[in-house]
Every structure is written in C-alpha cells, then in structure tokens.
Amino acid sequence: MVTWFFGILLIISIVVLVYMAQKNYENIDIQYWTLVVLTPLILLGYWLKTRVSTPEGAIITFCYIYLDSTVLLTVVLFCILRFMGITPKPWLKVLAYGAAFGHMLMVWMCIDNNLYYRNMVLIDTGMGIATKMESGPLKIVHWIYLIIIMLSIVGLIVMAHVKKGTYSRRTLFLYTFLVSLGLIVYGIESLVDVDFSILPVLYVVSDILIAINYDHAHTHDISCLISEQQKYHGAKGYAAFDLEGRYLSCNEKAYEYLPLLRKQIVDERLSPESPLREIFYDLIDDFRAGRKPVKKFPVGDMACQCELTEFSIRKDGKIQGYLFDIRDVTEEQKVLQVMQDYNDTLNTEVAAKTENIKTIQEKIVLGLANMVENRDNNTGGHVKRTSDIIRYVVEEVRKQGVYRISDEFMEDVIRAAPMHDLGKITIENAILLKPGRLTEEEYAIMKTHSVKSGEFVNIILKGVEERHFVDVAFHVARYHHERWDGRGYPEGLVGEMIPLEARIMAIADVYDALVSRRCYKQAMSFEKAAEIMLEGMGTQFDPNMYAVFLGCREKLEAYYREA
C-alpha cells in the first residue's frame, strides 16, 4: 500500500514538472526549476526503498533520498536569499554547493562499508519494505551539516520577517509555512521510530504550492519582468505594479531616481499622500485613456523620464501588470533647451530678419536631417530623395484635383519633407544601425521616432514660422507612418483622420524605401515597387492616391534612373 502511495506521489511530482514546463516562461528561474526537478528524484528514492530486497539496494536508494537534506536544502537556501534581494558572493555558492555534493559523494562512497550505516535490516510490513539501521561513525557529519543549513534557512526567514523588506508577504508566508512544517515533521520522525516517512507528502505539497505561486513570486522579481538587454542597462530604473495599482518590485537603480520607493510596502497601493501617485498613477490613467504614457519629473539636479508598458510572464500573454521604465534625460533636456534658447534668440530678431531666419532654420533642419542620415547607414540619401520626389506627388495631387490644395499648402508640404525623420536622432545606435531584423522591443523603440520628430518640429519652428507651416510640418513628421486601415503608428489613425500632408509623405517615404538600396537589401525593381504601392492603396495608403501614383510614376522612375 505504501509502495502505491509513494508511487502516486512520484507521478504527481512529475505532473507538476510537466505543468511548469508547459508554461514556457520567457525568463527561466533555475532555482525554482531545480526544486521541481529534484523532487521526483527524491520521491523515486522513497518509492524504490519500499521495494528493495537487499541491504545494499536500500543503501543505494538512500543515496537518492539524501538529495533532500543536501542539494534540495541548499537550493531552498539560495531561493530565500534571492527572494530577499541578497546576492551571495560566487565563492559562497561554490562552498555551499560543494559541501552539498561532497556530502552526497560521501554517502555514495560508503555503500560497500559500515562507515555511514551498519546493521541494516529490511522488514516486510505488508504495506511495503521498511528499513531499520544503526548509524555509523560518519553519520555525525550529516547531523552537523543538517543543523548548519537549517539554522541558516531559519535565520534568513526570521530576518525576512524582522526586516520587512520590499518583497511579497504571500511568498514569505509560503517559505515560513513549508520550512516550519518540514522541521516539525523531521523532528518528530527523528525522535519517534516510524516505519515510513511522511516527508514525501510534504515534498509533493511543497512542489504544488511552489508551482501555484510561481507567477505571483515572479511578478515580484523585477529581473523576471525585463529582458536581458534591459537587465544590463545600468542607467535605467524599473518598477512594477499590478493591474490594481499595487506595488510589486523595482531594481536598485529605481531607488536612485525615486528614493520613496524604499518605504513602499509590497502588494499595497500608494498612499493618498505619496508624491509617487502623480507619476505612476497618472501614467496608468493616461495609458488607459489611450494617451501616451510618458512623464518627465525633476530629481535634484536631474531631469528624469518615466514611461509605462504592460508586462506578462505567461505563455498566453495575458497582461499581469505595468512596468515603468525610468531614466535620466538631463542631457536630452539640455540639448532641447539649447535648441529652445536658440529659437528664443531668433524670435527677438524675427521682425527685421524674417527671410534670414527662414534660411538659417532650413539649414538647421537639413543639418539635423543629415546628422540623422549619417548615423543611419540604412537610409543614405533618403532625406534628399524624398524631398525631391514629394514635389512630383503633391503636384500630381493638385493636377488631378483629387484634393483641393493651395499654392501655400503645396509649398509647405515640400518644405516640411526633410523633417519627417528628425526623431531618429534620439534612437540608440545599437537599434538605428542594426543591419538585421529588429526584435519586437527594438521595433517598439524605433517607432518612437515619429513622436520625437513631431516634438522637434515644434521646438524648431513654433513661434518663429507661420502657424500653417508648423502644423503641416508637425503632421508630416508625426503621422507619416500612419496607415489608411488604422494599423499604423503612433496613434493608429484611420482613413481621413490622417492629415492629407502625412498621407502624401507616406507615398514618397515608402516608394523611396522600396526602390533604394539598403545595407540589408537590394533596390527593388520599379515594376515590383509599383505593384506593391498599388496593392497598398486602400490599406496602407489613401485609395485616392491610386490615380496620383499612376500619374507621376514615370517622373519618379526617371528621377531614380538619373540619380
């Protein structure tokens, strides 16, 4: 009967292991996985011990069982350290695991002698084979080892309760409950002569509770919520909140930007008096309202920026909370301030030097555009070409009468074209210069350039240029990646919600990308490019541009042949 019972426990532990594997987490916690892998091995030893028929066989099964009081307890020790945010020195890990596996090796080496166990007797109880033995002289090593590691684990748990650090109380209670129960069971079995241990039941219960708590525990571990690239980006802080606005965790850098986080209690909402509400909860409200979730705030002499994204560690991708990216934007602000100061200086002279100012501004714009282009080895000559060919497109729009446009509007669109990618100056080289396909995370960062382009246009032109040109240039910069079917960015505008000037810019921008050579592709033939452009009318592009594109196609192809 006991044999069957231990067999069932073994099967349950294997099912838990399979369940954990099916979750397919992006970030693997090796310590949690070691726990769920060791448990079936230990239970295999208990199951085999009820079926062996020789003392030698029983000793071999004990070699498996001793994984619990050596390696398993060592893993639990480091799990608790990790939970408390304590990073042990590498030499300490080597010492701890060396002692655990050294202990195991000692047991294995004593299979053929009486140094560890002697006078072993097998008793058939009718429910399974029970083992009675007398300890050998080396058994004292086990007791010393067990006392040291159990005192370490208990001491850490007590410290966690006293310290009241920024970690999950639910997970702390789970560790406390399982360790306390294990001590009680082991203590009773050490004092009372029992035929069969009930520790396997404890191991299976622990296994199940750990698997159930996995998601909860890892939403409280910031390293499980961020990518490897983010993890080693030492200049950024990260803080996580659940969907109800309860604080979960953050990394050390976040404390530098927002010291009040050290006082925040895990699994609780920010207090009504907390200044942090204006940062985190305002961003959550902006996100839910469909507004861009970005906020800037001062920290001493620094200017910081906080941006919100959602996170999930589940295979099904179900959103579990919000991850806040906090970084120092002081230098960016200084650059923007210099640009703003420069514009303020120009404003004082605008009445007397209007034409001169426009010339200077155009040089600034072209200079910035060339700076972007010089950084982006994917798009050499793109700014000049799109600035040239957009004239053909906008002239054809006017010629065909698809839309009624004035001379002023036409000139504004042509002048605005070089500004459409200014925001790429804020994109990191690692992403901007990447020759291969961008990851989803990198692509999300790249897409921010359209918003930044619009911001730069306002900074450079607002208060200096006439309002109609500022509006056209802003729309061209911000919305040239919107799609007619609403699948574009940054706002997902649909149809005629997209400003006409941005729809025109999209034709020139995409066509140039198709027929130009890039570092990651060859130039596409004019026939293939035209086919793609025409197929995109009504989905990517304004369907009214179908006839416009056909009307100026020959001029566009002639331009590229001569270039």
How does pLDDT run across 341-389, given as a tens digit for each residue? 777 776 666 555 555 556 555 655 655 555 555 555 444 467 778 888 8
User: 21 pLDDT exceeds 80?
Assistant: no
Please check whether residue 333 lies inside any domain of the structure.
Answer: no
354 and 247, same domain (yes or no): no
Secondary structure of residue 485 in the 3-state scheme = coil
Please check whether residue 135 lies inside any domain of the structure.
Answer: yes
Give the span between the Cα atoms of 143 and 140, in whole angstroms. 5
Please check whether residue 386 lies inside any domain of the structure.
Answer: yes
The answer to whether residues 180 and 166 touch, using CB atoms and an 8 Å cutoff, is: no
Beta bridge partners of 321: 242, 311
353 and 315, same domain (yes or no): no
423 and 547, same domain (yes or no): yes
Give the span between the Cα atoms of 544 and 402, in whole angstroms. 7
- Mean pLDDT, the chain, whole residue set: 82
Tokens 């010291």 belong to which residue? Answer: 259
320 and 346, same domain (yes or no): no
Please check whether residue 95 lies inside any domain of the structure.
Answer: yes
150 and 261, same domain (yes or no): no
In the 8-state DSSP scheme, what is residue 402?
A: S
Tokens 């398993």 belong to which residue? Answer: 72
Question: 258-282 in b/e burial notation, b at 16+ Cβ within 10 A?
Answer: beebeebebbebbeeebebeebbee
How confident is residue 268, by pLDDT bands cut at 50, 70 and 90?
confident
**Domains identified in the chain, total number:** 3
417 and 283, same domain (yes or no): no
Backbone angles phi, psi at 450, to 5 degrees: -70, -40
Give the span between the Cα atoms of 82 and 73, in whole angstroms. 14
Least confident of 88-102, 194-208, 386-400: 194-208
pLDDT of residue 229: 47
How confident is residue 121, by pLDDT bands cut at 50, 70 and 90?
confident
246 and 188, same domain (yes or no): no
* Beta-carbon contacts of residue 142 (< 8 Å; ≥ 6 apart): 66, 69, 103
- Decide which of 328, 347, 377 is a domain's last residue: 328
Please check whether residue 215 lies inside any domain of the structure.
Answer: no
438 and 507, same domain (yes or no): yes
348 and 201, same domain (yes or no): no
- Decide which of 307, 328, 349 is a domain's last residue: 328
User: 228 pLDDT exceeds 70?
Assistant: no
351 and 234, same domain (yes or no): no
Domain that holds residue 494: 339-562
Please check whether residue 213 lies inside any domain of the structure.
Answer: no
The answer to whether residues 425 and 379 touch, using CB atoms and an 8 Å cutoff, is: no
For residue 108 the two structure tokens come to: 């294995």
pLDDT in tens, 517-547: 766 568 889 999 999 999 999 999 999 999 9
- Decide which of 328, 351, 370 is a domain's last residue: 328
What CATH number should be reported for the domain holding residue 480? 1.10.3210.10
Please check whether residue 334 lies inside any domain of the structure.
Answer: no
Beta bridge partners of 129: 124
pLDDT in tens, 468-502: 888 998 999 899 999 999 999 999 999 999 999 99
75 and 119, same domain (yes or no): yes
292 and 440, same domain (yes or no): no
pLDDT of residue 379: 45
pTM above the 0.85 mark? no
The answer to whether residues 120 and 133 touch, using CB atoms and an 8 Å cutoff, is: yes
Please check whether residue 219 lies inside any domain of the structure.
Answer: no
pLDDT of residue 488: 92
